[in-house]
């Protein structure tokens, strides 16, 4: 039972354009949603989060949108830069800090 | 700032061998976690700890044991390694009961079971 799903294994975007990474979830009790970024041979690093009571959170080039009725969230990166090439994991929390991760989306930014 | 440190970084084992993966954090975090990452599966929680001396099962605990004898260390043991346990293992830590505080991850241990 995959509670958090990232249906796109990979995404390729041109430098300077917008990258949109999508995530769907099934558990309406999740309190917070987070995005992590992972480079090869490194651990995931936290990127941005959003509370379930919000619909948007922005941090510099990164914005996360939450649509609770659709059980869908998305991460927008504008403008995309070569250093953004990484695997992005969507994750959700319910209660005491047990993260549930999606499968990840590999983002490639082309020059 | 070391953050979360995992040792070893790489290991190859034969089926049936045992080993212990060590995770150490220097951020005084209460919560610690062990995950495994497999292709197409994301990160799955193996075991976790909410404080020194406590452990609990995660999503995929079978074949693993853990111990948290000191607050800063969280050990993951494989008593009899199986090829299905070939994976990349990540340790993480976080503060207590603050849902929007992110988990901090180590750089992983790549484990191959032959």
Judge whether A31 and B99 are in contact, CB under 8 Å. Answer: yes
- Predicted local distance difference test score (pLDDT) of residue B100: 65
Mean pLDDT of A18-40: 95
Q: Does B102 touch chain A (CB under 8 A)?
A: yes
pLDDT at A33: 94
SS3 assignment, position A43: coil
- Residue B41 clears pLDDT 90, i.e. is over it: no
Contact (CB, 8 A) for B4 and B25: yes
What mean pLDDT is predicted for residues B4-33?
96
List the beta bridge partners of residue B5: B24
Asked whether the predicted pLDDT for residue A8 surpasses 80, the reply is yes
What does the pLDDT read at residue B2? Answer: 72
Q: Determine the length of chain B.
A: 114
- Cβ neighbours of A32 in B, within 8 Å: 99-100
CB A49 within 8 A of CB A34: yes
Amino acid A94: pLDDT: 79
Cβ distance of B104 and A46 shorter than 8 Å: yes
* pLDDT above 70: percentage of residues in chain A: 97
Beta bridge partners of B20: B77
Residue B1 pLDDT grade (very low, low, confident, very high; cuts 50, 70, 90) = low
E strand or H helix at A13, and its extent?
A: strand A10-14
Residues 6+ apart with CB under 8 A from A59: A48
CA distance A28 to chain B (A): 16
pLDDT, one tens digit per residue, over B56-104 is 999 999 999 999 999 999 999 999 999 999 999 999 999 865 666 788 9
CB A33 within 8 A of CB A46: no
Q: Any CB–CB contact under 8 A between B100 and chain A?
A: yes
**What are the tens digits of pLDDT across the range A50-103?**
999 999 999 999 999 999 999 999 999 999 999 999 999 999 987 766 789 999
Q: Tokens at residue B100, please?
A: 């929007």
pLDDT band at A49; cut points 50, 70, 90:
very high
B/e letters for B37-63, b = 16+ CB within 10 Å, e = fewer, are beeeebbbbbbbbbeeeebeebebbee
The two tokens of residue A47 are 């990127």
**Cα–Cα distance measured from residue B102 to residue A66, given in angstroms and rounded to the nearest whole number:** 18
User: What is the average pLDDT value for chain B, to the nearest integer?
Assistant: 92
Average pLDDT for A11-34: 95
């Amino acid at each position: 039972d995959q509670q958090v799903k990232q249906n796109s294994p990979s995404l390729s975007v041109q430098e300077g354009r917008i990258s949109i990474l999508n995530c769907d979830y099934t558990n309406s009790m999740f309190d917070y949603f987070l995005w992590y970024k992972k480079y090869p041979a490194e651990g995931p690093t936290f990127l941005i989060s959003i509370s379930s009571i919000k619909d948007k959170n922005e941090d510099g080039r990164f914005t996360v949108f939450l649509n609770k009725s659709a059980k869908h969230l998305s991460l927008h990166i504008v403008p995309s830069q070569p250093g953004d090439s990484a695997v992005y994991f969507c994750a959700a929390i319910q209660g005491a800090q047990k993260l549930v991760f999606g499968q990840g989306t590999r983002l490639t930014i082309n020059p | 700032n070391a953050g979360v440190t995992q040792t070893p970084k790489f290991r190859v084992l034969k089926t049936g061998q045992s080993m212990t993966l060590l995770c150490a954090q220097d951020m005084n975090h209460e919560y610690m976690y062990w995950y495994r990452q497999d292709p197409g599966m994301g990160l799955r929680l193996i075991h976790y700890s909410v404080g020194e001396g406590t452990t609990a099962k995660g999503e995929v605990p079978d074949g693993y044991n853990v111990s948290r004898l000191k607050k800063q260390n969280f050990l993951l043991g494989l008593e009899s390694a199986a090829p299905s346990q070939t994976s990349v293992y990540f340790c993480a830590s976080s503060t207590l009961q603050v849902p929007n505080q992110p988990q901090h991850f180590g750089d992983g241990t790549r484990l191959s079971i032959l």
